[in-house]
Amino acid sequence: MTATIDPSTEAKPGSPVRLAGLRRGYGQVTALDGLDLDIAPGELVSLLGPSGCGKTTALRIVAGLEHSDSGAVFVDGKDITKVPANKRDMAMVFQSYSLFPNLTAGENVAFGLRLRGVSPAERRKRAGELLELVGLTQHYDRYATQMSGGQQQRVALARALAIEPKVLLLDEPLSALDAKVRVQLRDEIRSLQQRLGITTLFVTHDQEEALSMSDRVAVMNAGRLEQCASPDEVYTRPATPFVAAFVGAMNRIGGIASGTEVEVLGQRLAVTQPPEVPAGAKVTALVRPESVLLTPAVAGLVRVARSSFRGPVTRVTVELADGTEVDSDLPSSAAVDLRPGTLADIRFAPEPVMVIQ
Amino acid sequence: MTAVVDLTAAPRAATRRRLGKGRIAAWLVLIIAALYFLIPIAASVEFSLRGVHDTHDLSTWTNLFGQPGFVDNLVTSLELAAGTVVITLVLMVPTTAWVHLRLPRLRRLIESICVLPLVIPAVVLANGVLAAFRNGPSWITGTPVILALEYVVLALPFTYRTLDAGLSSIPLTTLVEAGRNLGASWLTVLMRVVVPNLRTSILNASILSAAMVLGEFTIANLLLMNTLPVWTVQAGQQDGEVATAASMLILLVTWVLLLLMSVFGQRGARRTGRSG
């Protein structure tokens, strides 16, 4: 997707956003339980979490489409908690296709401009530029039903950008698309967001999307923020067992605590945070599959239970003596000899691991 | 030489016979239904065309507009139809949309209330409205306005159902939220997002309401109002041919309205690729 765009659509300093102690309950269910989050100008922050963790509720409260029971939303330092949705100067791309069916793509993009009193000629010019920006110049006169899902979401993105919002809100905009289009569009969205410098809050339950698109990932669970950090940090240094388990795959292997180390299958590994248990206590070490190394060995301690080819990587699952299954992600070339039933030696990469009781 | 036996031939022939019989039965039902509706209409048209000495001419139809009171009552009926449609839509479009958006659990209850006019006798409705407006302003009680209010109630069942079906066929919540998010007030959302996407439903509800008003006799008669159906009945006591021609005219207008509904509905669906 390439386009020559009007200078007015180039990067502008984004607006800082602050969520302070947002709470929201539905009857007995607590959707948000005191959410605090600061988003820097021009930053893209993903709200990542399982269904029902409160991420969409948070986004809708920021958009003004729902109200919080307590807490506040600040944009540019101003409290906008009581400001109605239509006066917040934000734009949202929805999960479901939200183009107005009675309008063409161009008219959809120009909708917000029309509400702002922009002249018809200027509207048409701007809508054309934005459709060019999302690679749909030829679709100006097409209705939503005449476009694919990916094209509709691109138009929805152009419509959102047309009003030059202070904050762009993305509510799982890629989840209804097929895998190939999803990957393509997520790269396009990220590229545009960086180019235009719009502060963006992105809701997703897809880890890959969150990790690949975001400046920071805010992992949520049961209405609370578990960790908000760079994708790399969230993955390699999860702050809580929930983050460790939710982001990426994780093995849970029994070990013996030993101060700042843990002994796992005879190997001593450093721990990210020493557990509050005496030395010699039984603990569980959380180890990523890519940190588990296997080599075929006639007198190996573990037996390969199954393997699953995933292109460049093959996931090999081995069974320990106590019946625990451990996953290992190996380069496919290294996994050729690890067929089900094969005995193997198991080692762990010398990286700090998280330990839970 | 080996003989090839088509084991599926007999079942296929049986299926063809069954389909053939089904098709004949369908045509038979259609023909009977068509005769049931068309024979009285044809007879009425023939009756309205009778001239003197067993001849046929257009004199009854050409003289219809010259009949005392005909044009006045036709205008009254058309005004009532327009008024009823406007009041019904102004009341029902925002209400039904709001119920869909904010009170979806009440949809069944509202529908039950809206279909009540179908089971309440006209005389009860007429007396109810009269009682409700007993001390009302004279511009309502002494004029066809009160009749329009009655007709709004009578139009509720099909207006609600038509709008409800239209709203169910569009992603209303998302469209409204998208509109709000882009800066539209509630009124703007209603006029620029909801109404355009309910065009077909609104047109259907309008035409059905208008058709009902143009043919309604009982309540108008009970309220002593002069409308085209009332005039037609009164005219029929003196001249059956005139009354029949007037009835046929009402039928013709209703047909034209239904035809317009069909044409506009198809055109709208073709343009946006959906119905609603």
Domain ranges of chain A: 7-239, 249-356
User: Measured between alpha carbons, how far is B89 from B77 in angstroms, rounded to an integer?
Assistant: 18
Contact check, Cβ <8 Å, B182/A94: no
B46-68 residue pLDDT tens: 888 887 777 888 888 888 888 88
Contact check, Cβ <8 Å, A86/B185: yes
Q: Which CATH number fits domain A249-356: 3.40.50.1010, 2.40.50.100, 1.10.760.10, 3.40.50.2300?
A: 2.40.50.100
A64-107 residue pLDDT tens: 999 999 999 999 999 999 999 999 999 999 998 899 999 999 99
Pick the residue from chain A with its C-alpha nearest to B171.
A98
Average pLDDT value over all residues in chain B:
86
The Cβ-side half-sphere exposure at B256, using a 13 Å CA radius, reads: 7
Nearest chain B Cα distance for residue A84, angstroms? 9
Which residue of B170, B183, B276 is in closest CB contact with A163?
B183
Contact check, Cβ <8 Å, B197/A145: no
Q: How would residue A241 be classed by pLDDT, with cut points 50, 70 and 90?
A: confident
Pick the residue from chain A with its C-alpha nearest to B194.
A100
pLDDT > 60? residue A8:
no
Cα distances (Å, whole numbers) of residue A274 to A226, A258, A265, A289, B99: 19, 9, 18, 22, 56
A117 part of contact set with chain B, CB < 8 Å: no
Question: What CATH number does the domain located at A7-239 have?
Answer: 3.40.50.300
Cα distances (Å, whole numbers) of residue A242 to A216, A234, A239, A249, A250: 17, 11, 8, 12, 11
Neighboring chain B residues of A80 at a CB cutoff of 8 Å = none
User: Measured between alpha carbons, how far is B172 from A100 in angstroms, rounded to an integer?
Assistant: 10
Question: What CATH number does the domain located at B68-272 have?
Answer: 1.10.3720.10
B126-181 residue pLDDT tens: 888 888 888 888 888 878 888 999 999 999 998 999 999 999 999 999 999 999 99
Pick the residue from chain A with its C-alpha nearest to B186.
A86
Neighboring chain A residues of B182 at a CB cutoff of 8 Å = 86, 91, 111-112, 115, 159-160, 163
The residues near B245 (Cβ < 8 Å, ≥ 6 apart) are B48, B60, B61, B64
Neighboring chain A residues of B203 at a CB cutoff of 8 Å = none
Domain ranges of chain B: 9-48, 68-272
Which residue of B180, B192, B274 is in closest CB contact with A85?
B180
B218-255 residue pLDDT tens: 999 988 888 999 998 888 888 888 888 888 888 888 88
A67 part of contact set with chain B, CB < 8 Å: no
Nearest chain B Cα distance for residue A309, angstroms? 40
